[in-house]
Structure 1
Amino acid sequence: MVVGGGAAGFMAAITAAEAGLQRVLVLEATAEPLTKVRLSGGGRCNVTHACWDPGELVGHYPRGQRPLRGPFSRFASGDSVAWFSDRGLDLVEEDDGRMFPQANRSSAVVDCLRTAARRSGVQLITGAPVQSVARDLSGGFVASCRGGGRFHARRLLLATGGHPSGRRLAAQLGHRLIAPVPSLFSLTLDASQLQGCAGVAVDDVLLTLEVGGERFRQIGRVLITHWGLSGPATLRLTAFAARTLQASRYRATLNVSWCSGSSHANLLEALQEQRTQAARRTLAASRPLADHLPRRLWLSMLHGVGAAPDQRWADCPARVEQGLLDQLKFCRYPVKGRGPFGEEFVTAGGVDLGEINLATMESRCCPGLHLAGELMDVDGVTGGFNFQHCWTSGWLAGQAAAKQVTGSDRTP
């Protein structure tokens, strides 16, 4: 019996059925399963990431890096690609390594999972929110649903994602829960000069977050928003700093180098080239590193140093040039909090990994109970890594449950 009809739950149910279990039941609280899969990636679903080495793959998980080496050595990104391909869904790699269904729509992933579940004999009951779970007299489990439904099973898998109900059920069966905190979120900054730059994206930006006596660094693409910064580099930064930020009540200092790929000497040379080669042009009309630096961001920098946009480069004072150099290389912004409420992608926290046998995803506290997906204290950065953990943990749990019940091992 699987509680939770999401990515990890479906993977586990299909795997167990294909491995020989004749009766597999999925209980989903909502009217429609796989909702998060359908909504993810802007309706495209970033299924996994083209990161083929398990040793490299674990580096994308702020929580769970070392413990996940074993699971990923058995089922990693390449295995996910093959698994979906075997069931009629081909994935396509984009330039940044993210992998999407060839049809470029999340409904293709949902259809693949639902078809595989139906063909393997998995029974799905929707609108069945589980309120409590307990051991029954036979040593199995009984799940009681709102409305009076009761279901019995020899093996139980909790795959409820980040929903509080799953943590409550795990606690009922003896597990210790690590308090959840938001992960993968944008930052609200005290940065009035960026307000006119909302929607501007910049590549190769170095972010250094100073919080709670620690420093966290990421380099990559950022998106300027009405409230501060978002984009892949920001989300990765907040994922690794999630617990420290929460402990500091989301007050910190963010240092931004808008041109991390250019040294101090190169930036100084680029500014001096403007003075010599664009001497008659205005500061607003001609900017250094034009291929990298968006015009609106450059104008905000001019405003930040008190430079007149219509001033010619030939007349640019040395203090303005130095100020612009500082703006390009080192901007310092107070962090006032997270981005808009509800914008968080995943949570950090859940069942302590020390209480789970990660080879089988079986509980060390409650034999016969398995756990998978976001309910565990594992979270990845953006790029398909959170789904990859769902596929891996679900596959291992399904294989183990089938082997325990049937006494055979059909692992490929």
Structure 2
Amino acid sequence: MKKKFIIVGGGAAGYFAAINAAELNSGLEVIILEGNNKVLQKVKVSGGGRCNVSHACFTPNELIEFYPRGKKELQGPFHQFMTGDTMEWFENRGVPLKIEDDNRIFPESNSSQTIIDCFLESAKNAGVILKISTRVDAIEKLDNQYLVKTNDEEFIADYLLVASGSNTKVWNMVEQLGHTLVKPVPSLFTFNIEDEILKDIPGISVPKASVKVLNSKLEEQGPLLITHWGLSGPGILKLSAWGALELFEKDYNFEIEVNWLSKKTESVLDFLKSERQQNSKKQIVLRSVFEEIPKRFWEKFIVASEIQSDSQWAQITNKQLENLAKQLTQSVFKVTGKSTFKDEFVTAGGVDLKEINFKRFESKLHPNLFFAGEVLNIDAVTGGFNFQNAWTSGWIVANSVGN
């Protein structure tokens, strides 16, 4: 009689573990308990509907630097399965991947449905049983097994994987088994800002800005995007991930300083004085003198610096140039809340990492109880890193069950 491997939660990590466990161990009956009637919806919306599968970091020491929580714990696992293994896994199943200029990895099809279809076909071929619309109501530990009660039926699991993401109902069940849960707080979010300089120019982006949270050590660099509600882009998202706990404590009310050029104020001022000398007869508003700053945005800086838009360069005072240099390098904004990044939702929090054996992603409290993906207190910045954690943890669990 086959032993049962039950997966609670039908997310990316759960599917990856299920498929690999079924392929590696013919003596297992593998069952995914999926609470929704549509599968892999988080994969569906990820990467703007393209599924950012991973990131082109090919050494563990480099890869772990993108994880605000879980960095130390993932170093060993990444030596077992990481980016190159992920690419090979998908390509062996007829899903070619591509590395884009910013090192994010996507399917060549540019469609997350390709990844979903790959999982569903691989699961079917491996004999994985998928139970959709199956809500888990309780988990009880037996002697060396687990009783999983659902809205439909009960299952006895020889091996149990919790891969339910940030499902708080399942988290409560894990707590009842004796595990410590770190309270979830949002990670990867955009900043709500109402400021005249950002008004009416959504969609404008700056390629390399520096952002720091005032009165803290939080600082990041990267592209920024102006939105209808404030600021987004990789620079903001990285800051939100590293600052998830601190910004939660601030109730998402704080001030940031943005250096739109990532250059020193003094050097920007010198450059502006040089422009005044060389283009004295020209109107300052006619063109942005910094290629990083689009013209519509440049016009906003002119107004904010109290410079008349019809002024010629020769008419600009040193004081006005100093104001302009500060606007470009030391803009201060009041953040008054956050917004979820697109349809993606990542949390910091989950099962306390001290209670996990990361050689197997197994509970230190209960044998044959495993955790993978976002249910653990591991999260990353945007760019495919959260999925890489899902693939790595799922792979190691698959190789651990039955062994």
How far did residue 42 of structure 1 move?
1.2
Q: What is the SS of the residue equivalent to 1:359?
A: coil
How far did residue 341 of structure 1 move?
9.4
From 230, 235, 250, give the equivalent of 1:233: 235
Contact 1:196 1:300 in 2 (8 A): no
Match of 2:169 in 1: 165
Contact 2:42 2:344 in 1 (8 A): no
Give the Cα–Cα distance (whole angstroms) in 2 for the partners of residues 182 and 284 of structure 1: 41
Contact 1:207 1:218 in 2 (8 A): yes
Match of 1:408 in 2: none
Give the Cα–Cα distance (whole angstroms) in 2 for the partners of residues 73 and 350 of structure 1: 23
Is the aligned partner of 1:116 residue 2:122?
yes
Match of 2:367 in 1: 367
CA RMSD of aligned residues (A): 1.5
Match of 1:104 in 2: 110
Contact 1:362 1:371 in 2 (8 A): yes
Contact 2:198 2:226 in 1 (8 A): yes
How far did residue 162 of structure 1 move?
1.5
Match of 2:76 in 1: 70
**Cα deviations across residues 14-73 of structure 1 (Å, max 9, x unaligned)?**
111111143111110001221111111111000000000100101100111111111111
Give the Cα–Cα distance (whole angstroms) in 2 for the partners of residues 101 and 330 of structure 1: 39
Give the Cα–Cα distance (whole angstroms) in 1 for the partners of residues 154 and 173 of structure 2: 15
Give the Cα–Cα distance (whole angstroms) in 2 for the partners of residues 377 and 316 of structure 1: 54
Give the Cα–Cα distance (whole angstroms) in 1 for the partners of residues 208 and 188 of structure 2: 19
Q: What is the SS of the residue equivalent to 2:130?
A: strand
The residue type equivalent to 1:358 in the other structure is F
Match of 1:275 in 2: 276
Q: What is the SS of the residue equivalent to 1:24?
A: strand
Match of 1:358 in 2: 358
The residue type equivalent to 1:314 in the other structure is A
Structure 2 spans left out of the alignment, 5+ residues = 1-5
Match of 1:88 in 2: 94
How far did residue 342 of structure 1 move?
8.4
Give the Cα–Cα distance (whole angstroms) in 2 for the partners of residues 42 and 315 of structure 1: 47
How far did residue 169 of structure 1 move?
2.3
The residue type equivalent to 1:201 in the other structure is S
**Cα deviations across residues 252-295 of structure 1 (Å, max 9, x unaligned)?**
220100100x3445422331232123222212103321x21111
Alignment of 1:6-405 (within 5 A): 6-20=11-25, 21-136=27-142, 139-146=144-151, 148-210=152-214, 213-260=215-262, 262-289=263-290, 291-339=291-339, 345-403=345-403
**Cα deviations across residues 57-100 of structure 1 (Å, max 9, x unaligned)?**
01100111111111111111111111111222111000000000
The residue type equivalent to 1:243 in the other structure is L
Contact 1:251 1:335 in 2 (8 A): yes
Give the Cα–Cα distance (whole angstroms) in 1 for the partners of residues 87 and 173 of structure 2: 32
How far did residue 351 of structure 1 move?
0.3
Give the Cα–Cα distance (whole angstroms) in 2 for the partners of residues 69 and 230 of structure 1: 30
Contact 1:274 1:286 in 2 (8 A): no
Contact 1:185 1:343 in 2 (8 A): no
The residue type equivalent to 1:385 in the other structure is F
How far did residue 225 of structure 1 move?
1.5
How far did residue 250 of structure 1 move?
1.4
The residue type equivalent to 1:370 in the other structure is F
How far did residue 182 of structure 1 move?
0.3
Q: What is the SS of the residue equivalent to 2:391?
A: helix
Structure 1 spans left out of the alignment, 5+ residues = 404-412
Contact 2:144 2:367 in 1 (8 A): no
The residue type equivalent to 1:294 in the other structure is P
Which stretch shows the higher mean deviation, 177-186 or 329-338? 329-338
Give the Cα–Cα distance (whole angstroms) in 1 for the partners of residues 196 and 185 of structure 2: 28
Q: What is the SS of the residue equivalent to 2:17?
A: helix
Give the Cα–Cα distance (whole angstroms) in 1 for the partners of residues 61 and 361 of structure 2: 20
The residue type equivalent to 1:18 in the other structure is E
Count of aligned residue pairs for this structure pair: 397
Contact 1:305 1:320 in 2 (8 A): yes
The residue type equivalent to 1:5 in the other structure is G
The residue type equivalent to 2:45 in the other structure is L
**Cα deviations across residues 110-136 of structure 1 (Å, max 9, x unaligned)?**
111111111111111100010111123
**Cα deviations across residues 371-392 of structure 1 (Å, max 9, x unaligned)?**
0000000001100000000000
Cα distance change of structure 1 residues 340 and 37 upon mapping to structure 2, 3 Å threshold: closer
Give the Cα–Cα distance (whole angstroms) in 2 for the partners of residues 111 and 2 of structure 1: 19
Give the Cα–Cα distance (whole angstroms) in 1 for the partners of residues 402 and 18 of structure 2: 10
Contact 1:46 1:383 in 2 (8 A): yes
Give the Cα–Cα distance (whole angstroms) in 2 for the partners of residues 165 and 294 of structure 1: 47
The residue type equivalent to 2:372 in the other structure is A
